[in-house]
């Protein structure tokens, strides 16, 4: 009888476990594909910057090193900020009392994250001033802003194509509905 119960549980749970494994593998391959695409886009952007700013090989090498170092810090901080926004959205659901202490900590974290982003930009600009002239630095900043705007536009277009509600403000998702779905505001 005990063997029968264990066998029944195995039959009932196996499809769910297999689906979880497939989802995990799909997420890993999506992450790998996203990383590959990010590297390819960054490579093309660097080539365009080198061409438009008429960088010497030495300047291009130094700029790539700076982009890599500060890009890693920037992406990590952006991920943390996104997680804070999602947690804040979870706290601020209509009809559910928010935990004031958690909201305060999240708001403090978001403010500290914004300050850290400014610090990253200042440090990056300071480093670039050692090998780029002011005109090159200004043009680089313009190119990066245009590039980032285009990325946001492409993400919004992709979300619209997939039928996902647009995000609020600077990429912040709307509050979660029952079942974990998000509602755009």
pTM of the model: 0.64
User: What mean pLDDT, rounded, does the chain reach?
Assistant: 79
Q: In the structure, how many helices (H) and strands (E) does the chain have?
A: 4, 0
Pick the CATH number of 42-162 from 1.10.3720.10, 1.20.120.1490, 2.40.160.100, 3.30.750.24: 1.20.120.1490
Instruction: Convert the pLDDT of each residue in 59-105 to its tens digit.
Output: 999 999 999 999 889 989 999 999 999 999 999 988 888 899 999 99
pLDDT band of residue 37 (cuts 50, 70, 90) is confident
Mean pLDDT score, 139-161: 89
Per-domain residue ranges of the chain: 42-162
């Amino acid at each position: 009888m005990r063997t029968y119960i264990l066998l029944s549980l195995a039959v009932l749970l196996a499809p769910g476990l297999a689906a979880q494994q497939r989802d995990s593998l799909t997420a890993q391959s999506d992450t790998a594909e996203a990383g590959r695409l990010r590297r390819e886009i960054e490579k093309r952007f660097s080539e365009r910057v080198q061409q438009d700013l008429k960088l010497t090989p030495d300047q291009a090498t130094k700029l790539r090193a700076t982009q890599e170092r500060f890009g890693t810090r920037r992406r990590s901080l952006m991920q943390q900020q996104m997680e804070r926004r999602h947690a804040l959205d979870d706290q601020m659901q209509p009809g559910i009392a928010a935990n004031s202490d958690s909201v305060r900590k999240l708001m403090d974290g978001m403010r500290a994250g914004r300050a850290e982003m400014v610090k990253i930009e200042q440090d990056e600009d300071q480093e670039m001033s050692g090998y780029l002239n002011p005109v090159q630095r200004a043009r680089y900043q313009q190119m990066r802003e245009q590039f980032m705007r285009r990325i946001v536009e492409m993400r919004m277009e992709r979300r619209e194509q997939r039928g996902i509600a647009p995000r609020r403000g600077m990429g912040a998702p709307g509050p979660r509905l029952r079942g974990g779905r998000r509602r755009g505001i």
